[in-house]
């Protein structure tokens, strides 16, 4: 089972995406902003990330810049929404 992290500050959008992914057989982890997503990625790395760009606390580009700075996760697939 593929674990996908959905990072989006719009809870309705995040839940809709998560539902579609779960129906397709994936395990989904949700984070409402880049800061929480970063903590989640570092603790329990998903197989891929779906990332919103405009979010409070830490936006998508800032999140992606930090993720790419860690060697063990810099090749993690990220799809920008």
CA distance 49 to 46: 7
User: Which pLDDT belongs to residue 57?
Assistant: 87
Query: What pTM was estimated for this model as a whole?
Result: 0.93
% the chain with pLDDT above 90: 89
User: Which pLDDT belongs to residue 1?
Assistant: 81
Distance, C-alpha 12 to centroid of its chain: 15
Q: pLDDT for 40-57, tens place per residue?
A: 999 999 999 999 999 988
């Amino acid at each position: 089972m593929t674990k996908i992290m959905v990072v989006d500050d719009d809870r309705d959008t995040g839940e809709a995406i998560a539902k579609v992914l779960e129906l397709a057989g994936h395990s989904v982890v949700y984070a409402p902003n880049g800061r929480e997503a970063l903590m989640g990625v570092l603790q329990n790395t998903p197989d891929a990330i779906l990332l919103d760009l405009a979010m409070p606390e830490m936006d998508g580009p800032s999140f992606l810049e930090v993720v790419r700075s860690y060697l063990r996760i810099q090749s993690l697939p990220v799809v920008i929404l």
